[in-house]
Amino acid sequence: MASSRLARVAESPTIRIANIANQLKQDGIDVISFSLGEPDFDTPKHISDAACKALYSGETHYSPSPGIKPLREAIAKKLQTENNLNLDASNVMVTPGAKQAIFEVMMSVLDDGDEAILFDPAWVSYEPCIKLAGANPKWVPTDPENGFLPYDIGDHITDKTRLIVVNSPCNPTGGVFGKDKLKEIADLAIDHDLLVLSDEIYEKILYDEKHYSIGAMEGMQDRTITVNGFSKSYAMTGWRLGYLAANETFLHDFQKIQSHSVSSATTFAQYGAIEALEGDQQPVEDMVAEFRQRRDILVDGLNDIGIHCNRPTGAFYAFADVSEYGNGEEIAEKLLSDAHVAATPGSAFGSSGNNFVRLSYAISQERIREALERIENCLL
């Protein structure tokens, strides 16, 4: 029988939609899938070569639970130079994916009955991680016409609030938090003695904005836990490599969970991650340039059809308002069954997404154009 904590958690809607789409594909149906947040590019060759070299050199044994020292040093250097975070390798832990890092944070800092603030809509796995820790999500509204930025945050802070989750650029909206909004959140965290989990996994996938790390703001170093990884920026989803950075007291607690669960990240894969950080960055720039073109094709095409969609400034998701045709769940089902286009209902990310669908444009320009034709034929 399932535990009471597990009973509080629903299955991942993004995985469910992807599974249905994959079953249709297995049945011979040509499905165009916008459902999963996975770059469709191959991992850059120099990264794979570095991992292969480590593999064939015998780096196939357990690594230290927090990760190999050269990688933690490379991550610390990256965070110092790119994010202005004042830390070193002792403040870094490598995890099997950024999702594992987020899970470990929730399990470490939240107690039964605590509250964690989420900005609605938010990535689907934050809420289950909070609930598995015995805590409760506290949803804060965002403004769709202002980049899905949250407002009235302070009105939702109670004596049970322990954590604020920040995700910029954001999944599912593609919104980016500027310095002023992050300063507002930082001031609230300091005034109410709260922690901040800053999920920066999409930080390099930006189009017209600059990335800021809230942990670099005055008074935030010891109350911010920064989570990042290699999946999105370097097309390394299957490598399962993430990391978190925080003060050493937090790291000690996170390591307890890691050492008693997943032990460590794959050893030879970590050598590939070093090359990702220290090697040629041109593939990242090329990927972002391609994402920009896809974004413009998709967003312009949706608006031409009559589906209102703001132009996202980060990540690779379009959060489209389908309320002219129905709610998000109805339209997602109709698109999948009638047009064989897989999109994720916005309600999967919070109640404010009821009239939206999320479309991941991690597919080719040709397939985006074909999908737009199918959507138009289906809805008009």
The rounded mean pLDDT for the chain is 95
Domains of the chain in start order, with CATH, are 4-43+282-379 (3.90.1150.10), 62-278 (3.40.640.10)
What pLDDT, on a 0 to 100 scale, did the predictor assign at position 272? Answer: 98
* DSSP track, 22-89: HHHHHTT---EE--S----SPPPHHHHHHHHHHHHTT--SPPPTT--HHHHHHHHHHHHHHH-----G
CB atoms within 10 A of CB 143: 12
Partner residues linked to 92 by β-bridges: 245
pLDDT number for residue 25: 85
Distance of alpha carbon 119 from alpha carbon 199, whole angstroms: 13
Predicted confidence (pLDDT) at residue 11 exceeds the cutoff of 80: no
Amino acid identity of residue 370, one-letter, is E
When pLDDT is averaged across residues 279-299 and rounded to a whole number, the result is 98
Q: What confidence tier does 17 reach under pLDDT thresholds 50, 70, 90?
A: confident
Going by pLDDT thresholds of 50, 70 and 90, the confidence category of residue 232 is: very high
Measure the CA–CA gap between 346 and 349, rounded to whole angstroms. Answer: 6
Quote the pLDDT of residue 64: 97
Grade residue 144 by pLDDT with cuts at 50, 70 and 90.
very high
pLDDT tens readout for residues 79-110: 999 999 999 999 999 999 999 999 999 999 99
Residue position matching structure tokens 């809230």: 214
CB atoms within 10 A of CB 368: 19
Helix-, strand-, coil-residue percentages of the chain, each rounded to 5: 45, 15, 35
* 15 pLDDT above the threshold of 80: no
The structure tokens listed for 93 are 């832990």
Reported as a pLDDT band with limits 50, 70 and 90, residue 46 is: very high
The answer to whether the pTM exceeds 0.85 is yes
